[in-house]
Amino acid sequence: MTKVLLVCMANICRSPMAKVTCEAATEALLPRPTGLRAWLARKPLRFDSAGSHAALGRATVDLRARKALASRGFASAVQRARRISANDFSQSDLILAMDAAVLSDLKKQCPPEHQHKLHRFLDFTPALMGQDVPDPYFGDAQGFAHVLALCETGAQHLVTALINGDVPGVRVTA
């Protein structure tokens, strides 16, 4: 199983939205096998999210993020915020930051042997490579809709790259 960790600052907007869109893209691009046992046994991609500076109070996903997801037909993000841990660096196959500041924070925390796992979320989307997913927290609903659109596009490209073996050092296995 390939484990992908999506990281934003507080883990209440961008990374939970990216997680939901990545899970949906995986469902669309890797349909479930038939039968419950087959479905339970086959989870080639697993997504999680965390924050580089998530509050210790374990906040829930921002209501505006949940509304944006619901408006596009996605399941709601129901997780509680958590801060990235030392174990995340060794247990994840790929760690994707939502912006340059988060990537910089991750590089400072990440042990040298796991630095190769760090990238920006949009680095697998050719037209958006090297760009940030902006933080919508201090904005309005339009900002959340824009972030969701970026997450949808990024998720499609990321999952496709993972399935096709186009992510260096990461191999998706059933």
- Identify the pLDDT of residue 167: 94
Q: Evaluate if residue 56 carries a pLDDT over 90.
A: no
Pick 96 or 34 by higher pLDDT: 96
Q: What is the mean pLDDT of the chain?
A: 92
Residues 1-23: what's their mean pLDDT?
96
List residues with catalytic annotation.
8, 14, 135
- pLDDT per position as a tens digit, 59-94: 899 999 999 999 999 988 778 899 999 999 999 999
Query: Cβ contacts of residue 13 below 8 Å, gap of 6+?
Result: 61, 62, 64, 65, 135, 136, 137, 144, 147
What's this model's pTM, rounded to 2 decimal places? 0.93
Give whole-number Cα distances, 106 to 4, 47, 80, 113, in Å: 14, 18, 20, 13
At 54 the pLDDT is 83
Q: What is 123-151 written as a DSSP string?
A: GGSGGGTT------TTS-HHHHHHHHHHH
Give the burial class of 12: count Cβ atoms within 10 A of its Cβ; 0-12 exposed, 13-18 middle, 19 or more buried.
buried
> Which pLDDT does position 33 carry in this prediction?
65
Question: What does the pLDDT read at residue 30?
Answer: 84
pLDDT at residue 66 in the model: 95
Q: Of 6, 10, 78, 110, which Cα lies nearest the Cα of 48?
A: 6
pLDDT the model gives residue 7:
98
pLDDT in tens, 106-155: 999 999 999 999 999 999 999 999 999 999 999 999 999 999 999 999 99
For domain 2-164, the CATH class is alpha beta
